[in-house]
A and B are shown apart, each in its own frame.
Chain A
Amino acid sequence: MNYLKSEEIMELFQNRLGKQAIIDSRIETKIAGIKKNTYQVIWIGVKPNFFKEAVKILVELHYPHFAIISGIDIDKEIELVYHFSIYYGEKGKEISINIFTFLSKDNLNIPTITDLIPGAQTSERETKEMFGVNFEGLPSLPNLFLPYDFPSGVYPLRKDEKGVGVKVSEGDEVKKGE
């Protein structure tokens, strides 16, 4: 199998998507063990409308292992980080690729990747429930984690007024002092 280097992968993304699509990109090299072997982690930030294309490039390169979507509530935007890894199966060849994108809270839409990677369904449904991100093309399924009668418009991991807030019930904590 022909393995591309991290730099070449980065170049591939830049060539295929064009410079304007990429917000940020960096390659981190991590060291492990006495022999100081290294492994690499790639971070690529893309604009939301190029996101699906970026995943397609990845799938063509080598069918990636999809780990999870991390969501971060940053003021007026929600950042989604998709964690992938490619080139597994051989010692030390695997590269972690994290593709992140920023969605404005006015327009929380992103295309689904379940047509490319069916295993992403759980994570997309979770992100939908926790952050209110709409995955275009994801079939409308009942809540996976939240109860079915959960009020709409409340997204627990949001830090703004749509979240459950940080003032949580401290029932048990109060009891400690008794």
Chain B
Amino acid sequence: MKLNKYFERSLWVFHLNTGSCNGCDIEIVAGLTPRYDLERFGIKLVGSPKHADVLLVTGPVTSKMADRVKRVYAQTPDPKAVIVVGTCGISGGVFYNSYNLSGSIDKVIPVDVYVPGCPPRPEAIINGVLQAWIKLEKLRKTLKDNSPAK
């Protein structure tokens, strides 16, 4: 059964911590556990970026992690969407003036959805994931329509 036109198939998410304080990370897990229960939509965390549709990135990207972020992004199959959770990943937040940060996540990899907050509430993260889902389904449709096989 399809919920609506956006819910084509289950969405698998890879969570990547790039130097976050854990605040966003535990809210993401809270979003998956029974109170908020993202899993009822078929959304689940996977252990490898190669299985993922969506990258959920938190943290202000420490210099040491910048390269890892790029590698994880490259390993994620297309079509993919990137969600940034938390203010520090968007603008640096409280960590704005450190020398050890490679800057916000969108300076390292392309970002589709921003979820602000320090940390954002699980409801906001769920909303962010749904926005990414909508975008991803549109992307998938475009790919399908333009494929040479047609």
Contact = CB atoms under 8 A, between A and B. Distances in A.
Partners in one complex: yes
B99 A175 contact: no
A164 B91 contact: no
B66 to A, nearest CB: 12
A173 B99 contact: no
Interface string B34-64: 0000000000000000000000000000001
B104 interface: yes
A173 B98 contact: no
Nearest to B101: A172
B142 interface: no
Contacts of B103: 171-172
A172 B96 contact: yes
Interface in A128-158: 147
B119 interface: no
Contact of B64 (A147, A164, A171, A176): A147
A172 B104 contact: yes
Residue of A147, A169, A173 contacting most chain B CB atoms (<10 Å): A169
Contacts of B104: 172, 175
Contact of B97 (A164, A168, A175): A168
A170 interface: yes
A8 B14 CA distance: 59
Contacts of B92: 172-173
Contacts of A164: 99
Contact of B91 (A147, A168, A169, A175): A175
Contacts of B107: 171
A170 B96 contact: yes
Contacts of B64: 147
Interface in A36-76: none
Given A147-B64, A175-B104, A170 B91 contact: no
A173 B99 CA distance: 12
Contacts of A175: 91, 104
A126 to B, nearest CB: 15
Contacts of B98: 168
A147 to B, nearest CB: 7
A159 to B, nearest CB: 14
Contacts of A171: 103, 107
Interface of B: 64, 91-92, 96-99, 101, 103-104, 107
Q: 3 smallest A-B Cβ distances: which pairs?
A: A172-B92, A168-B99, A171-B103
Given A171-B103, A172-B97, A175-B104, 8 more contacts: A147-B64, A168-B97, A168-B98, A170-B97, A172-B96, A172-B101, A173-B92, A176-B91
